[in-house]
Structure 1
Amino acid sequence: MTATASPPIVFDPYDYGFQEDPYPTYRRCRDEDPLHHNPDLDVWVLTRHADIEHAVRSVGTYSNAMGVSIDKSAWGPDAHRVMSFLGMDPPRQTRLRRLVSKGFTPRRVAELAPQIQRLTDLHLTRCLEEGSFDWIHDFAGRLPMDVISEMMGVPESDRAEVRRLADLLVHREPGVRDVPPEGSAAALTLVVYFTEMVESRKKRPTDDLTSALLAASIDADRLTEEEIIAFLFLMVVAGNETTTKLLGHALFHLTRHPEQYDRVFADPEGVDDLVTPWIEETLRYDTSSQMVARHLLRDVELHGKVAPAGSKALLVLGSANRDDRVFEDPDRFDIFRDKEELARLLSFGGGRHFCLGANLARLEARIALTELVRRVGSVEVDHDASVRVHSINVRGFASVPVRTTLRGQVAG
């Protein structure tokens, strides 16, 4: 008998089939070709945890200055105009992040807890009155947008449209390997909207993040209007989309594992001890931000290959989180996974570009999922009818149909 040769690895993040389940391809890359080259896209792909952890923490080789997306129209020296400090290297990135952090403080995030609880109560009550609803459309897609909007000062009447525009930025049609015209138009509309919002706050400051950014200064250095607009743009896309996807994955995956689901929903009084590991394992197992691009300033030699200076590279965070060199039985969803393992997840990046909104995302998810467990006795998810978003950077659901039964009620 002769061994059958494996088919060549096809790593195409634009392919709908790949997006449905990229993890088998990630595994093959880690095991067979950990510095993989896609000649059609001319991009080098890093998939092992150790290589990606080094890349996100190192300085001088893996540059952000061309942006974090390989889309042709998003890649270039002007990426910072919509990606803020995600499209910069030190010292520009260091300066801007320090200034932004003056407005986006841990204290300001912590003070959002009552607002997040109020918004959770508002949206969840409406959903539970129906019994059957779409977890994404009716709840998980609304809560993060409302939280970000209240933080920035976006009026309630504008939020549905802002969310629609944000969705257009990440969606990709089959065969389209760039930001589609609808996405480009949405980006321009959002920039105009935030420009007008900044002008309004200059004339009449309010108690919101936009006004705080206008007032932020370090040694007389202040943010420019362009820098503020870019950060607001980043908040709406990154802060909204990724948290929505986190909430979607959390419920989808837990309900596919009955023993873990039963433990979480068994006792609403003890749920606080389970929600945090539930969130962290969701972030590891199926993270919202799957991959980020880098521009190589130097040759990168790894595993017998060389990615030349000037190349595009993809750091596949979603693959790093499934690396069996770090995580035991990584393809198993397990909310009781060892805490030391979970501490090594790379869902929020690392180093100087560690996600500024990580604490906010975790806070929103903790409040939302805790309240769900406290109110609901059972949740049934229609896994087969759930629909994924099609995007190269963001992984998550556009629709997750659910049916709930309140605590104390008998399922009908």
Structure 2
Amino acid sequence: MDLHYSPYDFGIQDDPYPVYARLREEAPVYRNDADDIWVLSRHADIAEALRDTARYSSRNGLRIEPAFWGPQAERFFSFVAMDPPKHTRMRGLVSRAFTQRRVQALEPRLREIARGYLKPALDGERFDLMADFAARFPTDVISELVGVPEADRDRVRDLGMAIMYRDEEDTGPVTDLPPQALQAIGELVGYYTQLTIDRAGRRQDDLLSGLLDAADGDDKLSPEEIVGVLILLVGAGIETTMLLLGNAWHAAWKHPEQRAAALGGRIDDWIEETLRYDPPSQSLARTTTEDVELHGVRIPADSRVLLLVGSGNRDPRVFTGPDRFDLDRDTGASLSFGGGRHHCLGANLGRLEARVAFQELAAVVADYEIDDDAAQRVHSTNDRGFASLPTRITARR
């Protein structure tokens, strides 16, 4: 069978790992003419591209759909879609507001939010991890961090979901975003713009107020730049954590011995191995600034290059038995939070959210069974996870 990879292929999205294995061995530098992308699949090549921001630029964004790709990428990805010196300035200012102290101070509130969703969900023997918990918990966490009023939080989540995913029933060219996604982008920009205006006149103890006050001498973030950061948090702070929770739940269920260890208290190992084994963010896009020679192949300047993080995390050159889910594994080489100057600024928050979620789940769930036939996956060019995970639980006594 001819080797084929496209990030738009729903069949590949459902299980990309066999295709990744072929790419690594048969075409570590793969060209898809139809999608106009070059694809890197080996760990060493991806890690080097993440470090080499001079040759692999972020200026056109992280996702290759036409709505996201290009100069407008900053609107959706803020400083993540910038190169120095713009990136240096923006990340520095955002870091002044998005501090470790602010993140850690959220933990007691995170536990309240998690318990508030889990208590009714776990009253019976069945619940849907995604619909009843994973899709709601990270939204409220980010909204709590930012300062989104409680009454608006469902709306923010729904708009974010409309942007990130498309269903098989969507019509139009497969590389385009559906009309409802484009409408949701506009609505979310409008919502955060108004929230920023409101907070400018009435500060609170939240990230939005911190962004308004962040300064380096006379240099401050503009309202438009702040809205860009808030839009980024929809994907980086809500979507990825939601998908991580589902992927971890599913991976542990498929591996009973590891599940027993995970529920028995090895929460951090459960999270880190999931980030390696089945990361929510499967790929990152870059633009070459000059010709790049790799494995005897020349990638021309100004090319779109897709870095398959999900493939790099399964590279047997780095991880022994990479297709095995193993809580005893050293995951230090995982690429899931990126690398170099674009290493994920919210990694500590994502880990904290997942840790709190699974500690609270493990406190009341002794074991569980997923109805895999009824589980539903999301469809996304660069993210992987579930929209639904119907689960039967065995409660702790």
Partner of 2:50: 56
Do the aligned partners of 2:61 and 2:70 also contact (CA within 8 Å) in 1? yes
Among 104, 111, 133, the alignment partner of 2:105 is 111
Mapping 1:71-90, distance limit 5 Å: 71-90=65-84
| AA in 1 matched with 2:282 | Q
Do the aligned partners of 1:74 and 1:179 also contact (CA within 8 Å) in 2? no
Q: Deviations over 1:219-259 (max 9, x none)?
A: 22100111100000111222100000000011111011111
Partner of 1:124: 118
Partner of 2:305: 313
Partner of 1:148: 142
Give the Cα–Cα distance (whole angstroms) in 2 for the partners of residues 406 and 173 of structure 1. 34
Gaps of 5+ in 1: 1-6
What's the offset of the Cα at 1:120?
Answer: 1.0
Partner of 1:404: 393
Q: Deviations over 1:358-387 (max 9, x none)?
A: 110100101110111111122111122211
Give the secondary-structure state (helix, strand or coil) at the position aligned to 2:122: helix
Partner of 1:331: 323
| AA in 1 matched with 2:345 | L
What's the offset of the Cα at 1:197?
Answer: 0.2
| AA in 2 matched with 1:303 | H
Give the Cα–Cα distance (whole angstroms) in 2 for the partners of residues 383 and 254 of structure 1. 13
Following TM superposition, the consecutive aligned residue runs of length 4 or more in structure 1 with deviations greater than 2 angstroms are 172-175, 262-265
Do the aligned partners of 2:78 and 2:229 also contact (CA within 8 Å) in 1? yes
- The CA RMSD measured in Å over matched residues stands at 1.0
| AA in 2 matched with 1:220 | D
Gaps of 5+ in 2: none
Moved more, 373-382 or 187-196: 373-382
Give the secondary-structure state (helix, strand or coil) at the position aligned to 1:398: strand
Do the aligned partners of 1:385 and 1:400 also contact (CA within 8 Å) in 2? yes
Mapping 1:236-275, distance limit 5 Å: 236-265=234-263, 267=264, 271=265, 274-275=266-267
| AA in 1 matched with 2:269 | P
Give the secondary-structure state (helix, strand or coil) at the position aligned to 2:293: strand
What's the offset of the Cα at 1:127?
Answer: 0.8
Among 339, 347, 358, the alignment partner of 2:347 is 358
Partner of 2:155: 161
Partner of 1:213: 211
Q: Does 1:379 align with 2:368?
A: yes
Do the aligned partners of 1:291 and 1:318 also contact (CA within 8 Å) in 2? yes
Give the secondary-structure state (helix, strand or coil) at the position aligned to 2:83: coil
Do the aligned partners of 1:168 and 1:186 also contact (CA within 8 Å) in 2? yes
Give the secondary-structure state (helix, strand or coil) at the position aligned to 1:255: helix
Partner of 1:202: 200
| AA in 2 matched with 1:330 | P
Among 256, 270, 276, the alignment partner of 1:284 is 276
What's the offset of the Cα at 1:77?
Answer: 1.1
Do the aligned partners of 2:260 and 2:367 also contact (CA within 8 Å) in 1? no
Give the Cα–Cα distance (whole angstroms) in 2 for the partners of residues 162 and 182 of structure 1. 14
| AA in 1 matched with 2:307 | L
Give the Cα–Cα distance (whole angstroms) in 2 for the partners of residues 326 and 108 of structure 1. 35
What's the offset of the Cα at 1:158?
Answer: 1.1
Give the secondary-structure state (helix, strand or coil) at the position aligned to 1:245: helix
Moved more, 167-176 or 238-247: 167-176
Give the secondary-structure state (helix, strand or coil) at the position aligned to 1:150: helix
Q: Deviations over 1:110-146 (max 9, x none)?
A: 1111111111111111111133111001001111000
Q: Give the TM-score normalised by the residue count of structure 2.
A: 0.97
Give the Cα–Cα distance (whole angstroms) in 1 for the partners of residues 184 and 111 of structure 2. 30
Q: Give the TM-score normalised by the residue count of structure 1.
A: 0.94
